[in-house]
Chains A and B, each alone.
Chain A
Amino acid sequence: MNNNIKYRIEFSKTDKMIFIGHLDLLKLFQRTIKRAKLPIGYSWGYNPHQLITFAVPLPLGMSGVGEIMDIQLTHRMGCDEIKDKLNECLPEGILVLQVMELEFGDTSCAAAVAWGDYWVRLDKRYENFEAIINNVLEKKEIYIERTVKKKTKIVDIRPLIRNIWVDDTADVTEFSCNIATGSQGNLKPDALIGYIFSLMGETPNMFKTDILRGTLYTEEEGVLLPLCPGEKFM
């Protein structure tokens, strides 16, 4: 038990910053918090570390505009002050969008996160893409092979897909989806794209595919609530 005050931070990771991985991002925030002189709380023990938790790592190469982390401070500070201080010290490409104070006893973001919005821009235009997606959404079960920790399993990913929307107006195919995200159940957008392409009999060019993660949600009695609700200024 401690008397720390918990804050939830929503931030974006875009542009050049998509090329740093999760552990490096953690380090960057640790240093930024020090430079910003926030009264960060530390864990106990031999090797104390700053009390920071991320909702769910963002894979290298992906942009995110609704990334979430929780931090604990030893003293209360204004949410806007935290935001401004961090933004002053962050490099271009990472921007704190909003900060909110959590209630005592709120679930941590890592435990709460359940769903995420993703936006995908493929390398070119694919004909009949909408029909393929409708077909996917009509299925009751979708079994694919997944490799977790070097073990291959056959799993049903249909329950991990809430929705997919195709945008057929642009000159390259784009779609958005709301899929399971987090430790309770997770579907990687890469895996979803791979599955869709297998239906088309093609392999996707992932190096030319842009993926952006949007809002992260928690689920309460079947309703999705953003982990960090509120106004954000981008």
Chain B
Amino acid sequence: MLKEILLQVEKPARYIGNEINMIIKKPEDTDIRFAFCFPDVYEVGMSHLGLQILYYFLNRREDTYCERVFAPWQDMEEKMRERHMPLFALETGDELKKFDFVGFTLQYEMSYTNVVNMLDLAGIPIWSKDRREEDPIIIAGGPCAYNPEPLADIVDMFYIGEGEVSYDELLDIYKENKKKGGTKNDFYEKALGVKGIYIPKYYDVEYNENGTIRSFMPNNEKAPSVIEKVIVKDMDSVFYPDKQMVPLIETVHDRVTLEVFRGCIRGCRFCQAGFVYRPVREKSTGRLTELADRLIENSGHEEISLISLSTGDYRGFKELAEKLTEKYARDNINISLPSLRIDAFSLELMEKVQAVRKSGLTFAPEAGTQRLRDVINKGITEKEILDGCKLAFDGGWTRVKLYFMTGLPTETDEDLMGIVHLSNAIVDKFFEIPKEERKGRPISVTVSSACFVPKPFTPFQWVAQSTVDEFRRKQRYVKTNINRKQVKYNYHEPELSSLEGVMARGDRRCAKLIVRAWELGARFDSWSELFNYDAWLQAFEDTGLSMEFYANRERSYDEILPWDHISIGIGKKFFIDEMERAKKGQITPNCRRQCAHCGAASFGGGVCFE
């Protein structure tokens, strides 16, 4: 039957597993079955480093079999529902109900309807309270779990922090409890003592009349009032897989990925990742080169990607880059360096490692004027960008991509005009090259503007997000003012960003909204061809919740925020200070320049002790 279905869907290999380096175990020889669910399509999920790490991390335990599950694409869902075929894991093809844990990784807010859909396709009750003893335990982690509340009535337990730290303890407790014949509740109560674990049902929320939170209290004496994130202290000794699953079909990134460090020293005020992964913790160059060799050997990939939030900030970057280029350039192995700052060194390097691909260079000024860049603490100047472009043009690059955001706090039309000016200045830079040297190559500048979404655990967590109409006006304003034919303007859908804004700072009541939108057909919201805004608008209406309340409302510093019971090691005081500095346009130096005493030093490692 499966064959018949698979012959009728797009890219059937999404559903067969069987990749190189897939782990094969006999489920009956293990004690714990863990279904690792990525709530998006196969090609996206398989390109995700966290999945690869946790897959091998969990499978390194003999008593645990971790398998993978992805969101079936529309055509497959249709066939599955027609035939009442439950959602299955790729490794064994077994349905999710047979698993002890069903774990979701929450990488972006707009995947929440897929979480609901996957539970439903698996025949597992959507609401935590409706689940029975024999249903799997639903656990979720990943960056969006830092504000777990929108999914708090759906997910049984959240894991706050990096997977390598507490999973062993959690699984040991589970196994022992299962052996002793303990119930799920017995397990939950014991799990309350594990660092980084948040179990929503042990907390009660009360609301004020105006809709804000009045109180958030544990209802079980073992439940900690604040759940602290757990992070790896020493990146060299922590587990890292020496192989990666190699998909049988083309995915978003067909390459091995080497994680250079976690965290970011920069402190851009809009960036959640920059704060929740603090402090910066690096791997040593020696460890990285050793891992690189093994990964390439075990995967057969012809590309290796060095990733982190800002790879150029790695202290051993020069050494590492030179070592790897020397080693691999001859071997037809490409080195890809996303998130690099453009300067003379990095250009020279790119020239070496990506000889044939003089495609595009990317800059992320994020804001159009120096004033606004200071507000968001994006430490890049117009001069740096123009100098970088000049170098790039001299080196033969002719395509420049610029990333901006609209709707940033304190933004005015002048800042929006700044986007236009900067793009024009880049075009002018190009035409400064004497005509003979340009050799008829055309220049193109692509300006991409995203809609700013205020995120929890950033200094901007209190600000009002622009409304859909405001975003539209701003985009039109930039668009109308772009008057050079070499400049192309792209922008994100403000409707999607607004919903993201709702989910990012949502509270427990938002689950109703997610489930309602799903009932009305919302799935794969981050895929523009499937995004169904009308379903969401209807869901707001049906649930009586308001987009304005969650997205477009400015909060006061003393309001209880839905995620206040989660701690990332950085106190509210620091964020308030940062917000105030932002308003005054004062920048805060990066961690290596001068420590801002954010609080993350309490984790006892990383950049704070360099």
Task: List residues of A whose CB falls within 8 A of some B CB.
Answer: 16-21, 24, 27-28, 30-35, 42, 46-48, 60-61, 89, 91-93, 206-208
CB of B356 within 8 A of CB of A35, answer no
Taking a contact as CB atoms under 8 Å apart, the answer to whether B22 and A20 are in contact is no
Question: Contacts A17-B18, A24-B248, A91-B18 given; 11 further ones with Cβ under 8 A?
Answer: A21-B249, A31-B300, A32-B300, A34-B302, A35-B298, A47-B356, A60-B12, A89-B20, A207-B4, A207-B7, A208-B4
In the bound complex, CA of A100 to CA of B5 (Å): 38
B22 to chain A, nearest CB (A): 7
Residues 382-393 of chain B, each 1 if its beta carbon lies under 8 Å from chain A, else 0: 000000000000
Neighbouring A residues of B7 by C-beta, 8 Å: 61, 206-207
The answer to whether A46 and B356 have CB atoms under 8 Å apart is yes
Contact (A16, B4) CB under 8 Å given A31-B299, A35-B297, A47-B356? no
Question: A93 and B18: CB pair below 8 A?
Answer: yes
The residue on B at minimum CB distance from A206 is B7
List of B residues within 8 angstroms of A32 by Cβ? 20, 300
Q: Hey, what's the 0/1 contact readout for B299-322 against A, CB within 8 Å counting as 1?
A: 111100000000000000000000
Specify which of A17, A18, A19, A30 is in contact with B300 (CB 8 Å cutoff): A30
Q: How far is the CA of A28 from the CA of B248 in the complex (A)?
A: 7
Assembled-state Cα–Cα distance A46/B301 (Å):
19
Binding site secondary structure of chain A: helix
With a CB–CB cut-off of 8 A, which chain B residues contact A93?
18
How many residues in B have their beta carbons less than 8 Å from beta carbons of A?
A: 26
Q: Once the chains bind, are B300 and A20 in contact (CB under 8 Å)?
A: no
Contact indicator B13/A24 (Cβ below 8 Å): yes
Kindly supply a per-residue 1/0 record for chain B positions 324-358, scoring 1 wherever the CB is within 8 Å of any chain A CB and 0 otherwise: 00000000100000000000000000000000100
- Please, what's the 1-or-0 string for B442-464, where 1 marks a CB less than 8 Å from any CB in chain A? 00000000000000000000000
* B19 interface contact, C-beta 8 A: yes
Q: Which residues of A contact B254 (CB under 8 A)?
A: 27
Residue on B nearest A46 in the bound complex, by CB: B356
Asked whether A31 lies within 8 Å of B249 as measured between CB atoms, the reply is no
Q: Please judge, given known A-B contacts A20-B249, A35-B299, A91-B19, whether A48 and B332 are in contact too, CB under 8 Å.
A: yes
- Top 4 nearest A-B pairs (CB, nearest first) are A31-B300, A34-B300, A35-B300, A19-B12
Whether B8 sits at the interface, judged by CB under 8 Å, is yes
Interface residues of B (CB under 8 A from A): 3-4, 6-8, 12-13, 16-20, 22, 246, 248-250, 254, 297-302, 332, 356
Return the chain B residue nearest A16 by Cβ.
Answer: B16
> Which residue of A24, A91, A208 contacts B22 across the interface (Cβ within 8 Å)?
A91
Interface contact tally, CB-CB below 8 A? 60
Considering the chains assembled together, what is the distance between the CA atoms of A224 and B115 in angstroms? 56
Q: Is there contact, CB below 8 Å, between A24 and B17?
A: no
CB pair A24–B249 under 8 Å, yes or no, is: yes
CB distance from B75 to the nearest CB of A (A): 13
- Nearest-CB distance from A153 to chain B (Å)? 27
Least CB distance from B327 to A in Å reads 15
| B4 CB to nearest chain A CB (Å) | 5
Counting chain A CB atoms within 10 Å of each CB, the highest count among B3, B249, B250, B300 belongs to B300
- Show 22 A/B contacts (Cβ-Cβ < 8 Å), sorted by A: A19-B12, A24-B13, A24-B250, A30-B300, A31-B20, A31-B301, A34-B302, A35-B20, A35-B297, A35-B298, A35-B299, A35-B300, A60-B12, A89-B20, A89-B300, A91-B22, A91-B248, A92-B18, A93-B18, A206-B7, A207-B4, A208-B4
Docked CA distance A27–B303 (Å): 13
Q: How far is the CB of A194 from the nearest CB of chain B, in Å?
A: 16
Residues of the A chain whose Cβ atoms lie less than 8 Å from the Cβ of B22: 91
Would you give the shortest CB distance from A175 to chain B, in whole angstroms?
Answer: 20
Instruction: Please name all residues of chain A whose beta carbon is closer than 8 Å to the beta carbon of B20 when the two chains form the complex.
Output: 28, 31-32, 35, 89, 91
Question: Of A16, A31, A60, which is within 8 A of B17 by CB?
Answer: A16
CB-based contact A20/B13 at 8 Å: yes
Q: How far is the CA of A21 from the CA of B3 in the complex (A)?
A: 15
Roughly how many angstroms separate A28 CA and B12 CA in the complex, as a whole number? 16
Interchain CB contact under 8 A, A20 and B356: no
Bound form: Cα–Cα A209–B17 in Å: 23
Q: How many Å lie between the Cα of A32 and that of B301 in the bound state?
A: 9
A32–B4 Cα distance when bound, in Å, is: 29
